[in-house]
Structure 1
Amino acid sequence: MNWKRAKTLFIFVFILVNIGLVIIYIDKVNKSHINDSEDENAVNFKQEEIKIPDNLPSVKNLKMQLLTARSNDFSDYVKGHDHLSSAQSGSLLKGDISSPIDVSNDQYTDLKSYVKDKVYKGSNYEMSQINNKNVTFEQTYNNYPIMNNNKARLQFNVNDNGKASSYKQTAMKSIEPSEGANNDEKQVITARRAIEALYYNQYLKRNDEVMNTRLGYYTVVKEPNVQVLEANWEIKVKHHNKITTYYVEAVSDSPKIIEE
């Protein structure tokens, strides 16, 4: 065996191992600095006496972008459907339910089945709000709701007997990414960062409670027939006895905030 060559090879391998260890060490140091920075910027909501939900939705590897949509015209669809009629130049569909659906005692299984099987593109809607007079569904895109939009809504009227007897529907069609060079998909910020944006902009204060957060699309440009939809976090905050809804831009490091 050539010991001189073996010694040289051993020294070379030793140097490579040490270089690798140094690289790993530097990477760990850099990551720890990043984590420290994030921890320093994070709001201690418990210390601020602000309640937030324990389990916030995950947005890992989720990217979204601006969308353009048009109002659907039901004028042709109502032809041949005796229980349906249209209004508002065809953008509003009205329907009567021949056998009213019982929604009392929080039983909505039959209503959801009716929406899926009997309503125009009903599988694209999800239940969003319930009260004594109405049950409201919102249209969705890629399983995310088009929030607080009267152009993408399905609402059932509930009579005094607790039964859904009729409904009104609007819908958006031709939903697609907006044209433009700057409309690439962008990573969605976390729900916590959206809540922190409310705090830093003084919408969220001591003794407030974040009741709910959900991700969806909010209309930022409204025209008669065309709308631009932007990814937003909808955050409901309880200020004493009043609940206020905020929409926080979900694909920006400095998100815009809209108060409803």
Structure 2
Amino acid sequence: MNWKLTKTLFIFVFILVNISLVIIYIDKVNKSHINDSEAENAVDFKQEEIKIPDNLPSVKNLKMQLLTARSFDFSSYAKAHSDISSEDSGAMAKGDISNPIDVSNDQYTDLKSYVKDKVYKGKDYEMSNIDNKKVTFEQTYDDYPIMNNNKARLEFNINDDGKASSYKQTAMKSITPSEGANNEKKQVNTARSAIEALYFNRYLKRNDEVTNARLGYYTVVKEPNVQVLEANWEIKVKHGEKIKTYYVEAVSDSPKVIEE
């Protein structure tokens, strides 16, 4: 046996093992510093006497990007359906429900079934708001709502007897990723980081309460027929007796805040 060669190989393997251990150690130290930095920058909302929801939506491994969409023209669709008319140069459809749907006592199962089966692309809408006079649905893209947008909305009027007998609808079509070299998908920031952005921008103060946080698309460019949609967190905050809505960019390192 060539002991000199064996000794050389042993030394070489020993050096490689040590190099690997050093790399692993450095990686752990770096991750530890990142976690420590995040912990130092985190806002202690309890100490600040600001209430936030216990269970915020998870965005693990979720990436989103800018979208471009166009308004749907209901003119031809309305002509093919006797119970539907079009308005606003075809941008809005108005429908009559022959058998009004009872939504009293918080019973919305029949209404949701009607939307799914009878309304144009009803499966793409989700219920977003309810009051005594109307029930509102929002159009979705990849299961995320197009928020606060009168070009992607479905509204049912509620009569005094608690029944829905008509609706009006707008919709977007050709929803696709916006063109451009810098429009790659990016990791979505957490809901907590969006709430912290509100705090650092002085929209959140002592005794405020965050009542809801949801992720969706918000319109950042509005043209007559074309819109650009950006991933945003919609955060509702209770300031005393008033509730305000804020939109926080969801994929930006320095998120912009819009107050509605």
Which of the five TM-score ranges fits, normalised by the shorter chain? over 0.9
Which residue in 1 is equivalent to 2:131? 131
| Residues 36-61 of structure 1: CA deviation (Å, up to 9, x unaligned) | 11111111111111111111111122
Which residue in 2 is equivalent to 1:62? 62
- Deviation, 1:2, is 4.6
Work out the CA distance in 2 between the residues paired with 1:210 and 1:3. Answer: 72
| Residues 53-109 of structure 1: CA deviation (Å, up to 9, x unaligned) | 111111122221111111111111011312111111111100011111111111111
Which stretch shows the higher mean deviation, 11-20 or 72-81? 11-20
Which residue in 1 is equivalent to 2:211? 211
Pairing 1:18-97 to 2, within 5 Å after superposition: 18-97=18-97
Q: State the TM-score, normalizing by the size of structure 1.
A: 0.96
Which stretch shows the higher mean deviation, 145-154 or 3-12? 3-12
Which residue in 2 is equivalent to 1:15? 15
Pairing 1:1-260 to 2, within 5 Å after superposition: 1-260=1-260
- Deviation, 1:164, is 1.0
Work out the CA distance in 1 between the residues paired with 2:181 and 2:80. Answer: 44
Work out the CA distance in 1 between the residues paired with 2:141 and 2:152. Answer: 10
**Which amino acid counterpart does residue 29 of structure 1 have in structure 2?**
V
SS at match of 1:76: helix
Work out the CA distance in 1 between the residues paired with 2:76 and 2:225. Answer: 17
- Deviation, 1:110, is 0.8
SS at match of 2:75: coil
Q: Could you list the runs of 5+ residues in structure 1 that have no partner in the other structure? A: none
Q: State the TM-score, normalizing by the size of structure 2.
A: 0.96
- Deviation, 1:9, is 3.3
Which stretch shows the higher mean deviation, 165-174 or 7-16? 7-16
**Which amino acid counterpart does residue 93 of structure 1 have in structure 2?**
A
Work out the CA distance in 1 between the residues paired with 2:246 and 2:51. Answer: 16
SS at match of 1:94: strand
SS at match of 2:167: strand
**Which amino acid counterpart does residue 115 of structure 1 have in structure 2?**
V
Q: Could you list the runs of 5+ residues in structure 2 that have no partner in the other structure? A: none
| Residues 205-249 of structure 1: CA deviation (Å, up to 9, x unaligned) | 111111000111111111111111111100000111110000001
SS at match of 1:60: coil
| Residues 176-226 of structure 1: CA deviation (Å, up to 9, x unaligned) | 122222222222111111111100000001111110001111111111111
RMSD in angstroms over aligned alpha carbons?
1.3
Work out the CA distance in 2 between the residues paired with 1:72 and 1:131. Answer: 27
